[in-house]
């Protein structure tokens, strides 16, 4: 397990997540997961078969997000890729 921890406070967290009108079984994408703050709030509202796909090209961000998100749920997939590769990466996963 990684011990990398980002010091970041998500901006407009409640407003951003409320604006998504999360459906418990929905499929969602975070194109820039970073430290995982917004993703953790999204995951908190999901239940199986809902799923969150999280992208970042920074391995340290991926490792930090994995630590944070795994404390909330296992309904997520971390993808080390730039958000510009999002369509291709999701298509390769049948999304």
Residue 17 falls within a domain, yes or no? no
Contact, 16 vs 37, CB < 8 A? Answer: no
Residue 16 falls within a domain, yes or no? no
Residue 4 falls within a domain, yes or no? no
Q: Give this prediction's pTM.
A: 0.88
Q: Read off the pLDDT of residues 49-75 as tens digits, 9 standing for 90 and up.
A: 999 999 999 999 999 999 999 999 999
* Average pLDDT estimate for 7-20: 82
Residue 50 lies in domain: 24-83
What is the reported pLDDT for 11? 72
Residue 43 falls within a domain, yes or no? yes
What is the reported pLDDT for 60? 94
Does residue 9 carry a pLDDT above 60? yes
What is the reported pLDDT for 5? 57
Mean of pLDDT over the chain: 91
CATH number at residue 67: 3.40.50.150
Residue 39 falls within a domain, yes or no? yes
Residues 6+ away with beta carbon under 8 Å from 42: 17, 20, 22, 28, 30, 52
Q: How many domains does the chain have?
A: 1
Residue 12 falls within a domain, yes or no? no
- Bridge partners (DSSP) of residue 29 are 53
Residue 63 falls within a domain, yes or no? yes
Residue 50 falls within a domain, yes or no? yes
């Amino acid at each position: 397990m990684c011990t990398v921890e980002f010091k970041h406070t998500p901006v407009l967290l409640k407003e951003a997540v409320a604006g998504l009108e999360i459906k418990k079984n929905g499929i969602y994408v975070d194109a820039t997961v970073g430290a995982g703050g917004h993703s953790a709030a999204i995951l908190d509202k999901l239940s199986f078969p809902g799923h969150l796909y999280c992208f970042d090209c920074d391995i340290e961000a991926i490792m930090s997000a994995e630590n944070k998100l795994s404390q909330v749920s296992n309904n997520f997939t971390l993808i080390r890729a730039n958000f510009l590769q999002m369509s291709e990466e999701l298509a390769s996963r049948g999304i």
